[in-house]
Amino acid sequence: MRLLRRSDTGELSLTQFPDEAIPPYAILSHTWGADGEEVTFDDLTNGTGKDKLGYEKIRFCGEQAALDDLEYFWIDTCCINKANNAELSQAISSMFRWYRNATRCYVYLSDVPTTSFTSNRRKKLAKPWESDFRKSRWFTRGWTLQELLAPSSVEFFSQEGKQLGDKHSLIQEIHEITVIPKSALQGTPLSQFSVNKRLSWIEHRQTKLEEDRAYSLLGIFGVYIAPIYGEGMTTAFKRLREEIGKLEQCIKDLHLTNPQDDKKRIEDTKGGLLKDSYRWILGNADFQRWRDDQQSRLLWVKGDPGKGKTMLLCGVIEELKKSTPGLLSFFFCQATDSRINSATAVLRGLLYLLVTQQPSLVSHLRNKYDQAGQSVFEDANAWVALSDIFTNMIRDPDLKMACLVVDALDECVSDLPKLLDLVIRTSTLSARVKWLLSSRNEMHIEQKLRGVDARARLSLELKENAEQVSRAVDVYIEDKLSRLDSLQDDGLRDRVKNILRRKANGTFLWVALVVQELEGPESWDPLQVVEEAPPGLHQLYDRMMKQIQQLKQRNSEICQLLLSTACVAYRPLYLAEMGSLCGLPGQISVLTRNVRTIATMCGSFLTVRDDQVYLLHQSAKDYLSDKIRDTIFPSQGRMHYNIFSRSLNLMSNALKRDMYNLSAPGFPINKVEVPVDDPLATIRYSCVHWADHLCHWNSSSAHQGINTQDKDVIEDFIQKKYLYWLEALSLCRSMSEGVLAIVKLNALAQRRIDALSFMKLVEDARRFIMSYKSVIENYPLQAYTSALLFSPTQSLIRGLFKREEPKWIAIKPAMDEKWSACLQTLEGHSSSVSSVAFSPDSTRLASGSRDKTVKIWDANSGACLQTLEGHSSAVSSVAFSPDSTRLASGSRNKTVKIWDANSGACLQTLDGHSGSVSSTVKIWDANSGACLQTLEGHSRSVSSVAFSPDSTRLASGSWNKTVKIWDANSGACLQTLKGHSSSVSSVAFSPNSTRLAIRSVGNIDYYQGIGTSSDRMWVTYNSENILWLPPEYRPFCDTVSKNRIGITTSHGRIWACNVVGNRR
């Protein structure tokens, strides 16, 4: 950012600052005069322009900044070199951020005069200038909209430089003039206003260049499009809307749960948030130090179950909302719900709130999301991608001060150590981030958190604040009892209150359970209820369990079945799902009613919210799990098996083709609406988790494998229902979970070496879902079209579901008999790929492209882990270091870059080659960047190099059709390999360094023809997508004759299909 500085003598100078070192500055908002009136960048650099009318604005801004103790200031007329298109484009994309980050924003109103009044920044004035203020041209210009909304401090000045007021004191007038909601003017995140609402704010504003009406909105929507002056306003707005749509889809895909909704649910469930029950912590010395001391970056609140940690943090969040000037993001873990009990879920929740409060941060999400789509948040490598995104956000120089709150760390059952490592790392990474964590007092958490510097780490143990917690419980008791009709008698209420206080032992949950019993119609004698209530949470659970066991046998058994099912389920079950899995009879309406009734019989262990069945508390699950181990209930292994078996039976009976009557084969998932009578209502959970329960059963059973009976059932399900299951997974938005299910099943099937046909069937099912996951995920009915048509002719799944192949394609593409060796096709580069390399540990694949980027992929899932940018020309070669920690990339701009393969940071840029194509090989020291040797011998350009994994040899391939093998230490040429008929494009050693793979350039014939769909991904009919094309079958060119389509691919394939009859 280039800033102005005014010297004591009034001279102006420009200084360029990097983003991470920008000092406090003032910024000017104004309306431009005629082109010749404004002082330009050239004027300042040449020492001219003082005689221009616009110089008065610069003088005013500099003087006002000095009055506000600001050394630097910024004005758009002269701080941007508009002759430099790249700089102008960057300025347009940065403008909103620059105004938002300004210490003060001065609005200079050249058309609002003041004749005689005194200005006082803190005093509201009589407004003789108000009429001119309301008519000011400033309120009609496009660019001034973001200049009004972005800064927190906006002060208005007359043409004489006298202050009229600020955005807060003039909020009513500004609201009436602009019709912008007051909440937006007061700083509510703009993302909370609809797209149409924000677009309406520009309707009555004008810009000198028509495209600027769209470009001036970029910061308001948190998106970026490159300015293309001359494209016209319509096209500019079209591109803007497209980018807004991508942003909205990205945030929608990131959304797993809205922590704000979770917080409200928790508070509502627990009877509301009582300020008197949490405000004690506001006076706690450790909390105050964490809140106020910049060096104190982590506070860990720890305590036993039921002590009110969650509600305490709910209260703290409310207080931080009032006092924190920056960002506040939070997450509530819950072990009983698989959606919110993992480290990945925590990060998704924290990121969701961060980007909704500061939309500019979404660029870090988009870097990966634009390459991999929703899978970046969901696949096996989601943690790697999300932690990189999160770390980059924390490093963002524009990040405001951020408080990050995570409740119930002990209920993060998946990858908690990774989450704690991230907390520790980011605590030391940025002084603008503070963490507030809560959990039970568990040693493994404490040991991890010791990794934070002792000066930055604080802990607050509830046990050490027992007196304050006890008083908070007393407040809670008082509030709860005041709401009971049965305790209107003051004397009785006091007696009940005293007993509760004596027995509560500072445990909110114990009080809540006893009060819940008092609220029941059978509790006509409240004194007896509290006197009989056993002290201690565990003892209270014992009594609740005893009451269940004393029910009629049938009722007791079904209650225990519900409790056992809730204990082992991977998420809270909907009433219909719970009823189906427990084998209750009846239609959905009957199921939901019966399960709701049974849940009330379960002695407060279960609660129903929004038609979902939840366990009361993690401590209740722990208690019930102990009972399962004590054989009072069926064993956990048996429960997992029962759910697996019941799930397979439910799906076999319910699944069929086109469950939602979509009809159109290309119907997109984002337009699918769940029917009122959802045919998947009872089996959604089963579709996603049946294999998880099978695996859990196998891990806990003695035989450690699928028995013959289960094998037959699974085999029958795959043979008859597999394609319908894939469709259902798509409709449930759970294709990623389906892939993992088949991978797990395949691992179990490999143990059945006596059942070869079963192993082959499961392996074929795995190849099928891996090959067509992407298209089925986005277009459910393509499971019956593309997925079948483009599968090998001897694919078992294709053969089993041949009846489902589309009848409207008379001529079908000729396919290979078996699955190819190609496991996946990785897409993401915007231009051709020139080089690829596996990491020696085989976990990652790097690709270099003519689009000037390097991408690092997960070799198993195909997810794009990193996109490395920095080369100014095409990347021609990539190679990993033997230990897989570093990656080298060579570019046609004559440079080699060395990257950290984990973080993506550029460690070195090596210069020294004489041209973009060179006949020499250079060996560099990867640490210092020094050139150690120059190897000469090729007569033409070197296209590829590779070290042997044992680092003793180096191979180089050349356009002279040869490969040379060099001694890596001495630089001697050991061998020259000849025989290729064309240029060598790539070389690679085998992992054991004994073999060398060489790729030479071949010739590909292309056939002339006309195109089909514009993106070449679909065969269409009447502009409707009907058949998705795998990458290797997409047309390089095609020809259409009536209903027949002939296609030639860039791989040399030629195929045709004939579209006839009904395409439904």
pLDDT in tens, 41-93: 988 888 888 888 888 889 999 999 999 999 999 998 889 888 888 888 888 88
| φ, ψ dihedrals at 163, nearest 5° | -75, 135
Q: What is the 3-state secondary structure (H, E, C) of 398-427?
A: CCCCEEEEEECHHHCCECHHHHHHHHHHHH
Residue 242 CA to residue 225 CA, distance in Å, equals: 10
pLDDT of 367 over the 60 cut: yes
Q: What is the DSSP letter of 307?
A: S
The model's confidence at residue 214, banded by pLDDT at 50, 70 and 90, is very high
pLDDT of 359 over the 90 cut: no
pLDDT attached to residue 106: 95
pLDDT attached to residue 702: 59
Residue 759 CA to residue 745 CA, distance in Å, equals: 10
* Residue range 322-351: mean pLDDT, rounded: 90
pLDDT attached to residue 582: 93
pLDDT attached to residue 1005: 26
The listed range with the strongest mean pLDDT (746-760, 979-993, 1040-1054) is 746-760
Cα torsion through 1043, 1049, 1054, 1059, rounded to 10: -20
pLDDT of 661 over the 90 cut: yes
The listed range with the strongest mean pLDDT (117-131, 593-607, 823-837) is 593-607
The listed range with the strongest mean pLDDT (537-551, 631-645, 826-840, 858-872) is 537-551
Please state whether beta strands 963-967 and 996-1000 pair in parallel, antiparallel, or not at all (unpaired): unpaired
| φ, ψ dihedrals at 29, nearest 5° | -115, 135
625-644 pLDDT, tens digit per residue, is: 887 666 667 788 889 999 99
* Residue range 130-153: mean pLDDT, rounded: 92
Q: Report the interhelical angle of 259-269 vs 343-357 (nearest 10°).
A: 110
**How close are the terminal C-alpha atoms of the chain, in Å?**
58
The model's confidence at residue 833, banded by pLDDT at 50, 70 and 90, is confident
pLDDT attached to residue 851: 82
pLDDT of 826 over the 70 cut: no
| Neighbour-count burial for 307-345, b at 16+ CB within 10 Å, e otherwise | bbbbbbbbbbbebbeeebeebbbbbbbbbbbbebbbbbb
* Residue range 1044-1056: mean pLDDT, rounded: 66
Cα torsion through 850, 853, 856, 857, rounded to 10: -60
Q: What is the mean pLDDT of the chain?
A: 84
pLDDT of 1001 over the 70 cut: no
C-alpha 837: how far from chain center: 28
Residue 1002 CA to residue 1000 CA, distance in Å, equals: 6
* Tokens representing residue 367 in the block: 């870097």
pLDDT of 583 over the 70 cut: yes
pLDDT attached to residue 398: 82
Greater confidence, 914 or 119?
A: 914
Query: Are the C-beta atoms of 32 and 208 separated by less than 8 Å?
Result: yes
Q: Which of 61-65, 176-180, 608-612, 893-897 has the lowest mean pLDDT?
A: 893-897
Greater confidence, 573 or 536?
A: 573
pLDDT of 422 over the 60 cut: yes
| φ, ψ dihedrals at 757, nearest 5° | -65, -35
Query: Are the C-beta atoms of 82 and 38 separated by less than 8 Å?
Result: no
Residue 457 CA to residue 760 CA, distance in Å, equals: 55
Would you tell me how many other CB atoms lie within 10 Å of the CB of residue 122?
Answer: 5
| φ, ψ dihedrals at 964, nearest 5° | -115, 140
Residue 774 CA to residue 924 CA, distance in Å, equals: 41
Please give the share of the chain, as a percent, with pLDDT higher than 70: 89
pLDDT of 371 over the 80 cut: no
* Tokens representing residue 425 in the block: 């790392």
pLDDT attached to residue 122: 45
Q: Which of 138-152, 744-758, 971-985 has the lowest mean pLDDT?
A: 971-985
pLDDT attached to residue 389: 92
* Tokens representing residue 1 in the block: 């950012």
* Residue range 841-858: mean pLDDT, rounded: 78
* pTM metric for this prediction: 0.68
pLDDT attached to residue 175: 94
pLDDT attached to residue 123: 47
pLDDT of 821 over the 60 cut: no
Q: Report the interhelical angle of 618-629 vs 553-568 (nearest 10°).
A: 110
| φ, ψ dihedrals at 1041, nearest 5° | -135, 105
Tally the residues of the chain. Answer: 1064
Non-local (6+) Cβ contacts of 83 within 8 A are: 41, 42
| φ, ψ dihedrals at 354, nearest 5° | -65, -45
Greater confidence, 755 or 864?
A: 755
Residue 886 CA to residue 881 CA, distance in Å, equals: 5
Residue 815 zone, left/alpha/beta (φ > 0; ψ -120 to 50; rest): beta
* Tokens 């699918």, residue located: 672
Query: Are the C-beta atoms of 998 and 1009 separated by less than 8 Å?
Result: no
* Tokens representing residue 1047 in the block: 């296609």
Nearest to 1028 by CA among 705, 665, 724: 665
Q: Which of 81-90, 111-120, 567-576, 669-678 has the lowest mean pLDDT?
A: 111-120
The listed range with the strongest mean pLDDT (248-252, 1005-1009, 1015-1019, 1026-1030) is 248-252
pLDDT of 768 over the 90 cut: yes
Which long-range contacts link 1020-1026 to residues 24+ away (Cβ below 8 Å)? 1020/666, 1021/1059, 1021/1063, 1024/664, 1024/666, 1025/665, 1025/666, 1025/779, 1026/664, 1026/665, 1026/666, 1026/785, 1026/1059, 1026/1063
pLDDT of 1007 over the 80 cut: no
pLDDT of 154 over the 50 cut: yes
The model's confidence at residue 577, banded by pLDDT at 50, 70 and 90, is very high
Please give the share of the chain, as a percent, with pLDDT higher than 90: 36
Residue 755 burial (10 A CB sphere; 0-12, 13-18, 19+): middle
pLDDT attached to residue 1009: 27
Q: Specify the DSSP element, H or E, that contains 109.
A: none
Query: Are the C-beta atoms of 430 and 394 separated by less than 8 Å?
Result: yes
pLDDT attached to residue 191: 86
pLDDT of 915 over the 70 cut: no
Query: Are the C-beta atoms of 758 and 766 separated by less than 8 Å?
Result: no
* Residue range 1006-1031: mean pLDDT, rounded: 65
Greater confidence, 927 or 884?
A: 884
C-alpha 349: how far from chain center: 8
**3-state DSSP helix/strand/coil percent for the chain, to nearest 5?**
45, 20, 40
| Neighbour-count burial for 564-586, b at 16+ CB within 10 Å, e otherwise | bbbbbbbbbbbbbbbbbbbebee
The listed range with the strongest mean pLDDT (124-128, 212-216, 273-277, 622-626) is 212-216
| Neighbour-count burial for 210-242, b at 16+ CB within 10 Å, e otherwise | bbbbbbbbbbbbbbbbebeeeeeeeebbebbee
* Residue range 960-976: mean pLDDT, rounded: 81
For every residue of 340-406, DSSP letters joined together read: GSBHHHHHHHHHHHHHHHSGGGHHHHHHHHHHHTTHHHHSTTHHHHHHHHHHHHHH-TTPPPEEEEE
289-333 pLDDT, tens digit per residue, is: 999 888 888 999 999 888 889 999 999 999 999 887 789 999 999
pLDDT attached to residue 1011: 35
pLDDT of 828 over the 90 cut: no
Residue 641 to residues 46, 190, 757, Cα–Cα distance (Å): 82, 50, 24
* Residue range 662-671: mean pLDDT, rounded: 91
Sign of CA dihedral 94, 96, 99, 100: negative
